[in-house]
Amino acid sequence: MSTYLNRVFNENALSGLTRIPEASVDLIIADPPYSLGKDYGNDSDKLDTAAYLSWMEQWIDAILPKLKPSGSLYIFLTWRYSPEIFVMLKQRLTMMNEIIWDRRVPSMGGSVRSYTSVHDTIGFFVKEKGYYFDLDAVRIPYDAETKKARSRSRFVGAKWLEVGYNPKDLWSVSRVHKSDPERADHPTQKPLEIIERMIKASCPQGGLVLDPFMGSGTTAVAASRTGRQFVGFELNRDYCDIIEQRLASPEALPVANNNQPTEPIRAKLSAKTA
Ligand SMILES: C[S@@+](CC[C@H](N)C(=O)[O-])C[C@H]1O[C@@H](n2cnc3c(N)ncnc32)[C@H](O)[C@@H]1O
């Protein structure tokens, strides 16, 4: 049995990646430090621009050979550095989407000399044309009200009406709040809802997901919950303990599902009837 499967190593990803065989990974989910000066119990988020971009390029070059030809990569970024990093990645992979994660930050004052930033930028990249993508696993079902509103003969039997629609590239999912049952003690924990969508769409059942910057272990938990394997790295020992606790009963974790799938159609309908 492989010794690296379903493990999170308390190790620098750059050295840890040598544990993983080339072309063995179905999906990479990378949520690196954003260079915003956050305290992860280490200096990883405190690099200056030049050092940050050079470090990003270093781990990108170390990780990409691990992807299978059918593999994909999702990377979380901010608008600050996504232009440079997207260019870097586009020289190595094919870019499929720029996904905007709207964190649903409430309006409470905010910046006074610029607009308040309320989104993260996610790049979705693939290695080759024949990449794995299971749309049916992530379709968003229409509710009864919308189905009824689409009952005209031209819509009858339409597959998209029955099975739901393809998620758009704007993902409106609340960040994990301190009071959420899903919350772990990590400053930039990502919602399970987002990571599970990525895994269901881009990793086959039983496939392998690699996350070089595990943080609170959301990728590991999401992989366990969806029947995929995982491997990853995290520098901070305390976060590794949190991951272990979260992995003890991943199915028991309540997932906040605050998607409002048919909101745009509903909005249109109510505008018409107003
Ligand atoms: C943005 S957070 C990841 C959050 C994670 N997605 C979650 O949902 O909890 C980035 C993490 O990467 C870790 N980290 C930074 N540099 C690292 C490195 N070279 N190797 C492994 N982990 C690293 C940090 O300690 C931090 O916990």
Residue 11 lies in a domain: yes
Report d(CA 84, CA 77) in Å as an integer: 11
How much distance in Å is there from the Cα of 34 to the middle of ligand 1? Answer: 10
Structural domain including 70 reads 7-106+114-134+169-262
Mean pLDDT of 236-259: 82
Triad 241, 255, 189: Cα angle to 5° = 45
Residue type, 199: I
Q: What does DSSP assign to residue 156?
A: T
Residue 272 lies in a domain: no
Write the CATH number for 224.
3.40.50.150
197 lines ligand 1 (CB under 6 A): no
Asked if pLDDT for residue 208 goes beyond 90, the answer is yes
Report the nearest-CA residue for atom 12 of ligand 1.
213
Q: In degrees rounded to 5, what are phi and psi of residue 252?
A: -80, -10
**What's the confidence (pLDDT) of residue 156?**
75
Q: What does DSSP assign to residue 140?
A: B
Asked if pLDDT for residue 104 goes beyond 90, the answer is yes
How much distance in Å is there from the Cα of 111 to the middle of ligand 1? Answer: 27
Asked if pLDDT for residue 72 goes beyond 50, the answer is yes
Total number of domains constituting the chain: 1
**Ligand 1 mutation pick, 235, 236, 243, 253, max ligand atoms within 8 A of CB:** 235
**What's the confidence (pLDDT) of residue 160?**
79
- Strand order across the 208-211 sheet: 7-9, 229-233, 208-211, 25-30, 67-77, 119-126, 94-102, 170-172
pLDDT band at 238 (very low <50, low <70, confident <90, very high): very high
40 lines ligand 1 (CB under 6 A): yes
Query: Alpha helices of 203-235 — where are they, by DSSP H?
Result: 218-225
Query: Alpha helices of 180-262 — where are they, by DSSP H?
Result: 192-202, 218-225, 237-248
Asked if pLDDT for residue 263 goes beyond 80, the answer is no
Residue 146 lies in a domain: no
**Ligand 1 mutation pick, 28, 40, 175, 247, max ligand atoms within 8 A of CB:** 40
Residue 34 lies in a domain: yes
Paired tokens of 166: 């393809």
Q: How remote is the C-alpha of 19 from its chain's centroid?
A: 23
Question: What pTM, to 2 d.p., does this model score?
Answer: 0.91
Residue 250 lies in a domain: yes
Residue 211 lies in a domain: yes
Distances (CA, A) of 21 to 3, 8, 71, 185: 12, 16, 14, 32
Mean pLDDT of 33-39: 95
Asked if 93 contacts 65 with a C-beta cutoff of 8 angstroms, the reply is no
Burial letters for 92-128: b for 16+ Cβ neighbours within 10 Å, e otherwise?
ebeebeebbbeeeeeeeeeeeeeeeeebbbbbbbbbe
Comparison of pLDDT for 61 and 163, the residue scoring more: 61
**What's the confidence (pLDDT) of residue 257?**
52
